[in-house]
Chains A and B, each alone.
Chain A
Amino acid sequence: MARDLIVVGCGIVGACIALTAQRAGLRTQMVEAGFPGGGVSAAGMGHLVALDGAELALSVRSLALWQEILERDPGPFEYRRTGTLWVAENDADLAALAQWRDRLQSAGIPAALQDAAGLRREEPALARDLAGGLLLAGDGIVYPPKAVHQFLTRALELGARIRTGRRVTALTADGVVLEGDRRLSGEVVIATGPAGSELLPELPVLPRKGHLVITEATASPLRHQIVEAGYTQGIHAPDGLSIAMNVQPRPTGQLLIGSSRENGLSDPWVSPVVIAAMLRRALRFLPGLGRVAALRTWTGLRPATPDGLPYIGRVPGRRSVWAAFGHEGLGITTAPATAELLVDLILGRKSTLDPAPYDPVRCLG
């Protein structure tokens, strides 16, 4: 008999898990309190990037899975292989990028170090005083709401079901309780991003608020996604506000400009102060963009765990409850590998990735 799986939360991670689980023969039901993909997924930049540090293995495996997905079906994702050009303001940053290049290469990801002249050749719109950069040609971008919709549609085609507009209020011994006291039974995957600890208080998630700006369509001056070398340090800035430049040329000709991080804030309001700081940082690297018009700004909440790695695996002390949240700002990139790993764990199969670093047990008190 097929096992029943209830996936709570239909963002990119939930939708990807539902699709993978349904394919693997589980009977999958998704529950989404709002609009599928309307939470963290919609608020983000939609980058598919290899990121240094703890998430390297997960992002590298996930990029390989993305490659397969996009080769099968490139259209609906609005995919663009922009590459990522990491830029160094000074020699110290450039040296750090050089070390990272070595780590990437040992993980099988090609990366090309650029000196100042090379940087200008790759991206003439960049400021003239930068030290150099690192080009990861395999990175790209997708449009997250459509990516979620695509995974969801495929899952539904394979027989998965979804309930939207209903919140899960509690976990039971063999399933979940929905708003209005309706009960569903089955094994449960919690994929609700920053709301993960509402149902699983033993797994802490800290909201990290971010702001983004999108411009009008321009004759885009950029060929690559541009990120400043300090970005990965910004991620782990412990308190307060941190800003790191990240600008993407979208397939629409628009520029998507980030990024900011504010720990512990969970309000949705756009702060003009943060927007201003973020834009000043973008203009420092791309000084020619000042007269380009911004169309919209918005915020989103990254679900951050204490050690910067997502929870993927069985929740200790609970019967048949699985966690898949806490992907911070990398959920779009890492959703396919998360889904692969989690479904392998559910089915007791050996997985490509070592599950230990993501096992929720590490963060239990």
Chain B
Amino acid sequence: MIDVFDLVIVGAGPAGLEAARSASRAGRGVAVIDDNPRPGGQIWRHDPTENPPRPLQRLLNDLESRERIRFFTGHRLVAFESGPTLVLESATGRRRLRGESLLLATGARELFLPFPGWMLPGIHGAGGLQALVKGGWPVAGRRVVLAGSGPLLLASAATLLRHGARIEAIIEQAPTADLLRFLALLPRWPRQTTTALALLRRLFRVPYWRGSWVTEARGRDGLQEIVITDGRRERVLGCELLGTGYGLVPNIEAANLLGCELTPSRHPAVRVGSRGETSRPGLYAAGEITGIGGAGRARLQGALAGATAVGDHRQSDRLLGRSREAEAYARHFARHFHLGEPVRRLARPETVICRCEEVPLDRIPEIPQADSRGLRLLTRIGMGPCQGRICLHALAETRPEPFLRDWLARPRPPLFPARLETLAGPEVAHGPET
């Protein structure tokens, strides 16, 4: 059986939830699916022993009062059948949904740049560590370093601090001058300013090293110390946990599988019109998958795309103007957190690039013609459970653009590892796809 809705939204983060609110305000039947067990996405993920973040609570209260909305949390979109019908997988089974319109709000993931020792136990994504801690992962009394780039380091540090971790340092690769320029113009966006000030207030005792990066992690069975440099001097810092991440890349896989046009950037995003329309009719995208721009922009885009997707033009027109300032913030952000050359080339010949298949750098040939596909075939990079989400984006930082184009040109479903019985589906007649 296929459940049919006016609008199916993939992703229950800020963009997805706002889209659901817009669409349900217009009185339409909405399904919101998310692989996380609870709504909120990454940014509003929270410890069950704490109250949900206020914006999330308000949104959920609002959505609870609507009748025609259904949440499918703990359900992961793994494939499409013709229609497109969405094939979802949960812990126990499969489910199929279809929408008159489809809105993708699949968010972003972290960009990891491999460095010697990054496979040691004790090293996680910076946002990943924050997410784990919000799920109860114990860090009280642990010595933690957060390293990489972007405000997520600060947000993660604040969460860890609240859970009793000892933050030894936050290490930001962007130079002080860039950060100051970023901060100088920040007051143009009051919401982002408030967030930044609150974070800095909570972290005021934590050393915040700018223009520095981790070149190596060391330890026997797990992380014991890291080597940090500012490009001139190295120093060693002891720690048990390291959260690392060099910003975010859009989760475009579902949109790409549906044939949505992407931007030609190093880490492509979904190309959308001013109201969230993708290149495919009936298909909308909102939030970080359209380019990294933060939760504020994601909420606006979500509300706008959700209204547009169900044909509520009055609501859509009203929201359109507000999305421009959010776009400006996204550009401002990207300009001042761009990655320097050294952090892209930290891997040594023996450093593993593909975590899943354990492929070290020196097994990845520097064949000029070798696009992402050729490399993949020869080395198996990107062929493991993460399906290239980590290593191919890391490699894209050092290879000529557009490195990912050949990889993306031939999507290979499922979108995530999925049980054979999920993909075997119900009995269907053989015939051409429509």
A residues near B, CB below 8 A?
35-38, 42, 145-146, 149, 164-165, 213, 215-216, 240-241, 257, 268, 270-277, 279-280, 282-283, 289-298
Contact = CB atoms under 8 A, between A and B. Distances in A.
B387 interface: yes
Given A37-B377, A164-B369, A273-B431, A294 B80 contact: no
Given A145-B378, A295-B387, A283 B420 contact: yes
Interface string B398-434: 0000000000001111100111110111011011010
B424 A296 contact: no
Contact of A276 (B370, B412, B424): B424
A165 B421 CA distance: 40
Given A165-B369, A271-B433, A273-B82, A296 B412 contact: yes
B387 A296 contact: yes
Given A37-B377, A270-B411, A272-B423, A294 B417 contact: yes
B37 to A, nearest CB: 19
29 contacts: A35-B371, A35-B377, A38-B373, A38-B374, A42-B377, A213-B420, A213-B423, A215-B420, A216-B385, A216-B417, A268-B410, A270-B412, A272-B81, A272-B413, A272-B423, A272-B433, A273-B82, A276-B81, A279-B420, A279-B423, A283-B421, A290-B424, A291-B419, A291-B420, A292-B420, A293-B418, A297-B412, A297-B413, A297-B423
How many chain B residues sit at the interface, stated as a range, is 20 to 34
A290 B373 contact: no
Contact of A293 (B410, B419, B424, B431): B419
B377 A294 contact: no
Contact of B421 (A37, A291, A298): A291
Interface of B: 79-82, 87, 369-371, 373-374, 377-378, 383-385, 387, 410-414, 417-421, 423-425, 427-428, 430-431, 433
Contacts of B377: 35, 37-38, 42, 145
Nearest to A78: B380
A35 B370 contact: yes
Contacts, number: 106
A294 B419 contact: yes
Contacts of A271: 433
A274 B419 CA distance: 16
Contacts of A38: 373-374, 377
A63 B410 CA distance: 33
A35 B414 contact: no
Nearest to A271: B433
B369 A276 contact: no
A35 B418 contact: no
A298 B430 contact: no
Contact of B420 (A164, A272, A289, A296): A289
| Top-9 shortest CB links A-B | A290-B421, A35-B374, A145-B377, A279-B424, A293-B417, A276-B425, A296-B412, A272-B81, A164-B369
A24 B344 CA distance: 46
A282 B420 contact: yes
A240 B414 CA distance: 24
B313 to A, nearest CB: 34
Contact of A149 (B81, B378, B411, B421): B378
Given A241-B430, A280-B424, A35 B373 contact: yes
Given A35-B373, A213-B423, A297-B412, A273 B430 contact: yes
Contacts of A295: 383-385, 387, 414, 417
Contacts of B421: 279, 283, 290-291
A283 B412 CA distance: 21
A297 B430 contact: no
Contacts of A268: 410
B378 to A, nearest CB: 6
Nearest to A275: B423
B414 A298 contact: no
